[in-house]
Amino acid sequence: MTRSRDALGRPLPDGHPDAVAPVPEQALPPEQALDLAQALLDEGRAFFAHEVLEAVWKASPAQERDYWQGLAQLCVGVTHLQRGNVEGAVTLLRRGASHLSGRLAAWGTAEAARLAGGDLTVPLLRLRDSAAPPP
């Protein structure tokens, strides 16, 4: 059974009024996962975007895992920042970027540097700023 969580993914007691709808626990098809993860990011629910992408990462063939892991870790980086953990955000944005290439890798690296430099605004992550997901 899925645990109740707030919009930032923090656990809540069952029935708490701040609980938000959970996301599917099973891996979605890649395009559907990207669409749902982006919608969740746009709503400020980066933790849940991470959950969607992590399910795909863990269900993907070995040659696709770096891509999905990188996306999931970028979302965790945003989650850490939303929760006020700048050090965790910088670490996860860098780690996520190391699994990616192109614009998303550059985005993760630049956002980590910006946060480390003291600009603590929550970054806008656009998952489709790079090539389509692996086949």
Residues 6 or more apart whose Cβ sits within 8 Å of residue 27: 33, 55, 56, 58, 59, 60
Q: Taking the model in full, what pTM does it have?
A: 0.92
Q: Give the pair of three-digit tokens for residue 41.
A: 């990011």
Q: By three-state DSSP, how is residue 9 classified?
A: coil
What pLDDT digit, counting tens, does each position of 55-113 carry?
999 999 999 999 999 999 999 999 999 999 999 999 999 999 999 988 899 999 999 99
pLDDT band of 1, cuts 50, 70, 90: low
> What pLDDT is recorded for position 130?
54
* Domain 30-116 is found in CATH 3.90.420.10: no
